[in-house]
Amino acid sequence: MAVPVARVTLCALLATLILAACAPDGDESPPEIVYGQNTCDACGMIIDEPRFASALLLENGETRKFDDVGDMFVYAAAHADQPVRAWFVHDRDSEKWVRGEKAFYVFSASIASPMGHGIAAFGERAAAEAFAADVDGQVFDFEAARAEAQMKAQQE
């Protein structure tokens, strides 16, 4: 028995609409950073080191780029009027982008990050813990890292 073309077309249209409704709003990819050319949206310095670079995707679709994970955290706290859709950091070891909300952060005075926040990000907890042991650091999840960075910035 043949299925009418109109019924197949209607089913395909409904499936497309349902999938579109479940999809995230817009592209949640990290922005491209041209190292040695792009500047940090917090401090204005040139972004040179991928392992410390980070970025925000705002709800309005704009992006912000940073040369230091600490700058990203402090910027977001100071600009609460710019809601964040997605956070991005580089894994210190592989320099690959990682969603900031899922990353692990090592804080240590021994980490020479571009703006001196002393934060390195990792995609895996085990890598963060191993690095922390080497640099006498502490490992934080995303929310704890944000709070720690903001607290340290307020003390300066």
Confidence of residue 7 (pLDDT cuts 50, 70, 90): low
What tokens appear for 80 in the block? 């609460």
**Residue 99 counted as domain residue:** yes
**Residue 19 counted as domain residue:** no
Burial bucket for residue 93 (CB in 10 Å: 0-12, 13-18, 19+): middle
**Residue 112 counted as domain residue:** yes
Evaluated on CA atoms 119, 124, 126, 127, the torsion sign reads negative
Instruction: Give the count of domains, the chain.
Output: 1
**Residue 70 counted as domain residue:** yes
Between CA 100 and CA 111, with CA 106 as vertex, the angle to 5 degrees is 115
**Residue 65 counted as domain residue:** yes
138 pLDDT more than 50: yes
Q: How far apart are CA 133 and CA 123, in angstroms?
A: 17
What's the predicted TM-score (pTM) here?
A: 0.81
According to DSSP, the residues that pair with 133 across neighbouring strands are none
Domain, as residue range, for 147: 30-155
Mean pLDDT score, 120-144 = 98
**Residue 10 counted as domain residue:** no
**Residue 62 counted as domain residue:** yes
20 pLDDT more than 80: no
**Residue 3 counted as domain residue:** no
pLDDT at 27: 67
